[in-house]
Each structure stands twice: as C-alpha cells, then as structure tokens.
Amino acid sequence: MTVTHREPPSRPPESRAQQPALPEPRGELSNQVDIALRDGTLPDIPTQQRAVTVADPYGEDLQLALYVLYELHYQGFQGVDPELEWEPGLLALRRLLERRFLTALRADAVPRADAAKALADLQIEPVGHDPTSVSHHLEREGVLGQFREYAALRSLYHLKEADPHAWVIPRLHGRAKAAMVAVEYDEFGAGRAEDIHAGLFADLMRDLDLVTAYGHYLDVTPAAALATVNVMSLFGLHRSLRGALVGHFATVEITSPPGSRRLANALRRLGAGPAAQRFYDEHVEADAVHEQVVRHEIVDGLLCAEPFLDGDVAFGVRATGFLEGRLGNRLLTRWRQGASALLRPLPDNDTRLQGGTP
C-alpha cells in the first residue's frame, strides 16, 4: 500500500452533520441498550442488575454498553433522540455498569504509593527496549498495518481529545482550575481551529488512509481499548471521582512526551506523511510543558485545597496504567501472532499491512 501524503492546510471543514451509527451489540447488556435507543423500550432494571452482576467488568458486552451510554453525553448516534441523554432508566442502567467497572478497578488497580510517589514513578523510563511497550514495538519493528490499527482504535478518544477531561473543570477551583483551563486551552488549539488536537489526529488518519468520521471504528475496537476511553468518562462525569480524573490526566501528560517521540519515530520509519508525524511531534513539545503545569499546579493545587483526595489521585494514576497495560498486552500478543488486534481486520487488500515489510 502507498500512503498518500497530505499537508495539514488541505483539511476539509469538520462536519458533524451525520452522527455515528449505533454499533452492533456484543451481548445481553449492549443489546438492551441498543433496543432502548432504537425504539425507546427502556431496560428492566432488576433484570439488568442480575446480568451486570455476572458480566465481565472488562468484557466486550459491558464495555460497549457503557461506551454507548457515555456517548449520549458527547456526540450521540444517528436516529437517537438526544433527550435520552437524561432518561432515568438509562441512567440507572449506566450506574449499574459503572459500579461493576469501578469495583473491579478498585480491586485490580490498588495504589502502591501516595500521589507524589505515583507521579514520580511515571517519569522513570525503562533502560533500552521495553518488550511490553506498544510505542517501543511500533518504533522498532511495527509494520504499517499495525500502526493503522493502533490509530483506528485510538481514534475513539483522539477525535474527542481532551473533552472527557473538561468535565472536571467545574469541580476544581483556584490554582488547579486555572492550570487545568490553561492546559485544555492548548489541547483545543489555543484559539486556532486548525490546531485543535482532535483535528491534528484526523490529519494523521488521512495520511494513513483511515476514515476520519467520529466513532467510525467503534465496531472493530476491542473492549480493552473501550475501557481506556470509558474510564475518562467515568472519572469525569462524577464529582466524587475528580481526584481520580486529575490522576488520569496527570498520567497522560507525564507519559506522553517519550511515548509520542517513539510513535513519531515509527511514522518516519514507516514513511508516513508530515501530517501523521505532526500529531506526535506536537505532543512531544506541548506535553513536556504540560507535564510541569500538571504536577506543580493542577495536582499540587488540588491537594493543597483538598488533601483528602491524595488517595484518589493515586488511584487515577494506577487505574490508568492498569488499563493501558491490558490494552498493550492485547495489541502485542495479537501482533506477535501475526493477527489483527481489532475485532475484524481493517478493510484493505494489501496483505503487507498485516505483517512483513511495509
């Protein structure tokens, strides 16, 4: 496959005139959500409560159901009444799903240190090649098809980059709020629509010949990736979890520069165009600055005002790393088996994209 190089200024105007289609259900829970959104038949909560109790908290069914319900607060879906965003029956079901997910996270991602130590540990880069790291793999040996898969599944977040974190702004005050708004301002292009990070990621996708429509790759994105997006909405939509959201945000900003540098190197090695490279190059520079602001103003500002949230910040750090680790393990395991990491391979006739030399 030949990747077409496109310059960022050629980006067409963003359009949300057509919302994403509802995804195919993956089990009882996501099917019930699908029925409710299509024809208004609301879930029977006692029945769904039993189903949630036995569902895998990280599984395809629960994570898809939760993702779809969260998306009602973002862009919605084709043919779905926007008033369903606040339908009590759907909110009750969402709460059941959230509790199952959050309970599992609290059991599996127990903080190993306080917030300060947890954040300091994030700055320790492994010496040499890390065989458990997706960015190390893509930088050194990944093929173009693997990077396209990575971009496709990451698009569920990056095409709304920084939106989930914006939920926390009304829950902060003083230093933490001022600094959070400053970082988000950069994420949203610092007043320039052409520099909004979600738009830069769309440019990257065009360079890799991927579809840039919001939510397009939902049906092929595995639960391990959905969980990394859902956790941001979970933390962001609950004031009680504001500390965890700050911990998540800090983790993203602190780990971004080295990971983005490796991904930019991978794109250069694979011959991707300047628009694809720009997204990660931008994050190397911007997030190096954001890291300091996040640590010394957002986190310190929050904990100076509300020191009792220290454990929640540490939990946010740990939960983020835990879910990213699960996703990385799925990607690397499948790729090393010569298989697609998606639920279905991307439609492409070039077999080189699934392995071998790009």
pLDDT at 133: 93
pLDDT at 16: 63
Digit-coded pLDDT (tens) for 217-240: 999 999 999 999 999 999 999 999
To the nearest whole percent, how much of the chain has pLDDT over 70?
A: 90
**Which carries the bigger pLDDT value, residue 93 or residue 286?**
93
**Which carries the bigger pLDDT value, residue 16 or residue 216?**
216
Which residues, other chains included, contact 135 with Cβ-Cβ below 8 Å and sequence gap of 6+?
Answer: 258, 259, 262, 263, 266
pLDDT at 126: 66
Confidence of residue 291 (pLDDT cuts 50, 70, 90): confident
Range 21-38 average pLDDT: 97
Q: Is 81 helix (H, G, I), strand (E, B) or coil?
A: coil
Range 204-221 average pLDDT: 96
Digit-coded pLDDT (tens) for 17-27: 678 999 999 99
**Domain residue spans in the chain?**
18-108, 115-354
Per-chain mean pLDDT for the chain: 90
23, 91, 179, 211, 234 from 215: Cα distances, Å:
9, 22, 30, 10, 18
CA 284 – CA 248 distance, rounded (Å): 18
Contact 177, 248 (CB under 8 A): no
Owner of token pair 């306080």: 114
CA 173 – CA 191 distance, rounded (Å): 23
CA 59 – CA 25 distance, rounded (Å): 12
Digit-coded pLDDT (tens) for 142-199: 999 999 999 999 999 999 999 999 999 999 999 999 999 999 999 999 999 999 999 9
Superfamily covering domain 115-354: Heme oxygenase-like (1.20.910.10)
